[in-house]
Structure 1
Amino acid sequence: MQNRTDVQLQMILLVVAPPSGVLFAVQRGRDELLRPFASTPERISFAITMRLGPALVDGAFNFQGPYAQGTPTDRFVYLNSGVRAGESGSPWERRAKIKLSGIPRDLVEVAIGDSNRAIEARIQGRARDGGPVCAAVQRGAITWHLATRT
């Protein structure tokens, strides 16, 4: 799989149990925002597409595209909330880093290039202080799954 380059990887980000009344968005590039495709009081859902470039020297996946932030060896996706998500007047101004290195390799290998499959991240939407999730999302606050379109 490491020789395949420029293939697409579908991702779904589910923000579970977000604090009520807080706007969330995924950051695209430096300052564009992606709104959710679905939202309920219990969960907020985003769909993004990543590209996989040539494998890194250590064989790790090379996540690329407008949602990939950071350096090639430390890629992440920003989940913005409050003011950073475009909610003027919010008491919150937060950004959470969803580290892509945490995605299990076997899930990526099954999902890449398959438009009927996606990697799904379930992210706890609330930080310890009760506000929106922020900083680097820790392993216990995120789980990775394979989603299949039926």
Structure 2
Amino acid sequence: MDIQLCILLQNPPAGVDFGIQKGSGNRYETIQTQRSDGLDMQFRLTIQLKNDPQKINEPRFSGPFVQGTPASQFIYIDVGEFAGQVGGWSRRVKIPLSGVTWDMITQLSHHSAACLTTSFPGTAKDGSPICATVKPFEGWKVDMLSN
């Protein structure tokens, strides 16, 4: 089953490139690269459900955007040079896939226009672009897609 993710990066610093990491290690590419103008940025991507509720307690995911171990999966947003920008920051933002429940998966399967949505600030306390694991991470919620 395909799972749609909608990620909202709130008010990241202007002039910095952000994009979704596809692949891992030295063999990755950054897609959906956007240069921030200081306003919210949105990313949409599709991951795959890897297992079923009869076999394991928590949903597990696969696909070229999913990083980490089965017990600690996440998505990367590349920042600055990691997103292909020349000069500036070289960072990644780690967005946990934790907290997704089988109830959420069931809701998604019943509504083709639904996605898992999360949002978080794009600027760190010191005014630089966010990096490392999103904290505090408020998790994912099921939301209807809008065009």
Per-residue CA deviations over 1:54-100 (Å, capped at 9, x if unaligned) read 1486511111111000111110000111111110112x111011010
1:79 aligns with 77
1:67 aligns with 65
Q: TM-score, normalised by structure 2?
A: 0.84
> Is 1:44 aligned to 2:41, yes or no?
yes
1:103 aligns with 100
Runs of at least 4 residues off by over 4 Å:
36-40, 55-58
Residue of structure 2 aligned with 1:32, choices 29, 32, 46: 29
2:12 aligns with 18
TM-superposed deviation, 1:101: 0.7
**How many residue pairs are counted as aligned between the two chains?**
142
> Is 1:117 aligned to 2:106, yes or no?
no
Moved more, 57-66 or 32-41: 32-41
Aligned equivalents of 2:87 and 2:5: distance in 1? 30
Moved more, 58-67 or 76-85: 58-67
Moved more, 125-134 or 92-101: 125-134
Secondary structure of 2:69 counterpart:
coil
TM-superposed deviation, 1:106: 3.4
Of Structure 1 and Structure 2, which has the larger fraction of its residues in strand? 2
Given that 2:14 and 2:37 are in contact with CA atoms closer than 8 Å, whether structure 1 keeps it comes out as no
Q: TM-score, normalised by structure 1?
A: 0.82
Secondary structure of 1:70 counterpart:
strand
Letter of the 2:59 partner, please give it. F
TM-superposed deviation, 1:24: 0.3
Given that 1:123 and 1:143 are in contact with CA atoms closer than 8 Å, whether structure 2 keeps it comes out as no
Provide the aligned C-alpha RMSD in A.
2.4
Report percent identity of matched pairs.
32
> Is 1:146 aligned to 2:142, yes or no?
yes
Gaps of 5+ in 1: 1-6
Given that 1:38 and 1:45 are in contact with CA atoms closer than 8 Å, whether structure 2 keeps it comes out as no
TM-superposed deviation, 1:11: 0.6
Aligned equivalents of 1:83 and 1:10: distance in 2? 27
Gaps of 5+ in 2: none
